[in-house]
Amino acid sequence: MKRILIHAVLANVLYSDGFMMPPCSQLIAPKPFPDVPITSKKSKHQMSSGGDNEGMILADDEPLSSKFQRAVVLQRAGDYSSALEEYETFVKAAKSCDVSPEKYAEVHVNMGAVYMRLGKRKEAKINFEVALKYRKIGNAHVNLALLTLAEGQKSVNPTDGINALKEAEDHCRIAVDLNDDIHSFQRASTLLVDIGKMLAQVNGR
């Protein structure tokens, strides 16, 4: 009976009008890249000497920012597989240019959101955690909260469901405290209210 209650509680948090809550996937851009010439061991990466590309890191004669923008366009268009390929190309290019991962932690958040759209929760979780390894980002915490709730709903153990609610609550509190973007703050705040009600219901209060 308790297992049924936990599953119902998690479903109430995860679902709205019969549809699973989408990932907190507003697209966010990486921090500005350092404006210094960089040469990769694999291929030359140099700075433009003038024009619109001045001060931008180039990878194979294309600014990294262009690679990112192309991925964003594809993600917004719903072409998630192609967007993922572009994000992966971006990350490889950034690494070959020796750009600090802290500068593009948000790219991993976007990749995680794409993986969630593709139903690949394991890969999504890995990318959100990678992003948080390099920098605290509210969006990543909110998405980890959603993933935790989804995993808790799958478990047959009621204790796992309760732990999922508590872990998701922790992620949401961090996102609210960070308050680094309005969308993540609002989603985390809403989830906190819902999770609080559900925990009270489970505890019989």
Task: Summarize pLDDT for 69-82 with one digit per residue, the tens.
Answer: 899 999 999 999 99
Q: What does the pLDDT average to over 11-40?
A: 47
User: pLDDT category, 63, cuts 50, 70, 90?
Assistant: confident
Residues in the chain: 205
Token readout for 112 is 């995680």
Decide: 60 and 93 in contact? Cβ < 8 Å. yes
DSSP letter (8 states) at residue 15: E
- pLDDT(33) > 70: no
- pLDDT(51) > 90: no
Which of 23, 136, 126, 133 is CA-nearest to residue 80?
Answer: 23
pLDDT at 80: 93
- Per-domain boundaries in the chain: 1-22+137-205, 29-135
- Collect all residues with Cβ–Cβ distance below 8 Å to 69 and sequence separation of at least 6: none
DSSP letter (8 states) at residue 39: -
DSSP letter (8 states) at residue 97: T
Token readout for 104 is 């593009």
Task: Summarize pLDDT for 148-178 with one digit per residue, the tens.
Answer: 988 888 888 888 888 999 999 999 999 999 9
| Lowest-pLDDT choice from 1-10, 176-185, 193-202 | 1-10
Decide: 175 and 188 in contact? Cβ < 8 Å. yes
pLDDT at 180: 92
Query: Considering the chain, what percentage of its residues have pLDDT values greater than 90?
Result: 46
Q: Beta 15-16 vs 62-63: how paired, if at all? A: unpaired
pLDDT at 25: 53
Check if CATH label 1.25.40.10 holds for domain 29-135. yes
Q: What does the pLDDT average to over 11-37?
A: 48
Find the farthest-apart pair of alpha carbons in the chain and give their distance in angstroms, rounded.
69
Strand partners, 20: 15
